[in-house]
Amino acid sequence: MLRRFVMVLAALVLPLATAVAAIAGPAAQPAAAASWHTPNPSIAVDNYHNQYVFWKGTDGHLWETFYDGSWHGPIGLPQMGILGSPPSVTISPVRSVIYGGRTLADQYVVWEGGDHNLWFAYWDGSWHGPSKLGFGPLASQPSVSADGSNGLVVVWKGTDGGLWFARSSPSFSASGWAGPSSIGEGPLNSAPSLTMGGGGIDAAWTGQSPQYDLWYHTAGTLIHIGFGPLDSPPSIVGLYADQRFAFWVGTDGTLWSGGWTYTALNNHLQTVGPGRINQSNGQSMGLLGSAPSAAFNTQTYYVVWQGQDNALWEATLNLSNGNWQLQRLGMGPL
């Protein structure tokens, strides 16, 4: 049994190392500290490779664009009111609707309101909300992910500097939420980023000075990943089993990434990176104007950010060819 476990673990670690080698540029630490990059756009991707991107517009309202073979938008959602923070989006892995002849996933969006409470809206063919969930005061942009029971989990930085969360039932009504609950980690220096690992809460964030490096919570365990200094909050992506990636702005202003596996059974951490992500021609992705937001589905990474030109930019990687492609989507000004 032990031999079989080691063989399975090795099979999981190898794709992680291969993927990091494919996406990362020179694995050197960033240089001197630069200005802090805050998040704006947030991305989710479904099993059809449809993409859903939401952001806080210059008017303070919620905006979106989506891709289903071509890009649609930008689409303003002024009925959601004025946002106090950029939004975070996730999609249902099982719920979808036929809309305009295409299959689109249900979409769930959260944000911090101007009253520092948690707000929520969702789309299942039409928009519902906004709903004030409360749970405040929040001290950061929240991050949302679907859990294994067809509900939602939201995490955020509390006013005590710690990691907090709330959880919904599958009904998603404003009365179907429970929280807030303290996870007890911290202090956080940035908004946390959430993915769900086996139904548990996996979150990453930037730690306090002087390192400003990456910290990770999983299965009730706090893990110091390193990779610093980061110049933005990280965006964490869950892959297979215990494999995780994070994307962030390096102190040189460009896109960086690092990966790891953490095996709780023997408290083993293996990291690969960090490294700067370059285009297939070897050039960098340019200077970012916001923290990135990342998603992964079926061998493809998607990373979006607000450019310094206040437009929406995206980098994608298909693991079958190992080449990053950069595209200016526009949609601005964000």
Residues 288-300: pLDDT tens digits?
A: 999 999 999 888 9
Domains of the chain: which residue ranges?
2-330
Amino acid at 201: I
Between 4-13, 68-77, 174-183, 192-201, the lowest mean confidence (pLDDT) is in: 4-13
Structure tokens at 51: 């993409």
pLDDT at 328: 98
3-state helix, strand, coil in the chain (%, to 5): 10, 50, 40
Structure tokens at 95: 């719920």
DSSP strand E in 124-213: where?
127-134, 143-146, 152-157, 163-168, 177-182, 193-197, 200-206
- Determine the Cα–Cα distance for residues 38 and 165; give it in Å rounded to an integer: 21
Give the pairing of strands 312-318 and 268-276: unpaired
Averaged pLDDT score across all residues of the chain? 87
* Mean pLDDT value across residues 43-59: 95
* Mean pLDDT value across residues 116-142: 95
Share of the chain above pLDDT 70, in %: 87
pLDDT at 230: 96
Between 85-89, 94-98, 248-252, 303-307, the lowest mean confidence (pLDDT) is in: 94-98
More confident residue, 18 or 261: 261
Confidence class for position 53, pLDDT limits 50, 70, 90 = very high
- Determine the Cα–Cα distance for residues 10 and 270; give it in Å rounded to an integer: 11
* Mean pLDDT value across residues 81-92: 96
| Residue 296: Cβ within 10 Å count | 20
| pTM of the shown model | 0.92
pLDDT at 21: 53
Residues 178-236: pLDDT tens digits?
A: 989 999 888 999 999 999 766 588 999 999 888 899 999 998 899 999 999 999 999 99
Give 250: exposed, middle or buried? Use CB within 10 Å, 0-12, 13-18, 19+. Answer: buried
Structure tokens at 308: 């310094």
Query: What CATH code is assigned to 2-330?
Result: 2.120.10.70
What is the radius of gyration, based on Cα positions, of the chain? 19
pLDDT at 23: 60
